[in-house]
Each structure stands twice: as C-alpha cells, then as structure tokens.
Amino acid sequence: MTDDQFIELLGGVTAVARFLGITAASVSGWKAIPRDRKIRLAVIAEDKGLCTRKDLFPDDYEDIWIELRPNHKSNLMSAPI
C-alpha cells in the first residue's frame, strides 16, 4: 500500500493530522510519511482493524515491535502447572 493509500485508509489528511496532533498542512506537505509517524499510525490502523503492523512493515515489523516475533515470550502459551 502506498503512503497516500494509507492516509486515505485512515480517513484522510485531516484524520491523520488529528491522530498525530499536527496540522493538516503538515500532512499534506509530506512526499512520504516520515518513518516515526508511520510507525505510530500503524498501531492506530491496527487498533481500528484497518490493517496490521505486519502488512505495513513486512520486512522489519519484528525489529520494530518485538512482541510480534514468533518466539517472543508473550506469544508462547505457558504449560499448566
């Protein structure tokens, strides 16, 4: 998905600006979503059920969010005692 498509998925420039606490003019001026902002927006998009963080960062999602690593302790079921 392109950054423009992602912004539209989130509800457009005004919605993205509101999510980030910045002006719509700032969002409109982006040629690409700055990485730190895209990471924040990915969490919002996943929370809203629009897409997953893995969808947006398929190559490095495990480095950004370690809890998404397949063998992370939060993903392992504990055995009954």
6 and 56 in contact (C-beta within 8 Å)?
yes
**Residue 72 placed within a domain:** no
Which has more pLDDT, 61 or 16?
16
- Within 8 A by CB and 6+ apart from 17, the residues are 23, 24, 26, 27
Q: What is the pTM assigned to this prediction?
A: 0.81
Structural domain for 48, as ranges: 1-66
Nearest to 37 by CA among 8, 65, 7: 7
Domain tally for the chain? 1
Residue 80: the pLDDT is 55
Model confidence pLDDT, tens digit, residues 40-81: 999 999 999 999 999 999 999 889 998 988 876 665 555 455
Residue 48 is part of a domain; what is its CATH number? Answer: 1.10.260
**Residue 81 placed within a domain:** no
**Residue 73 placed within a domain:** no
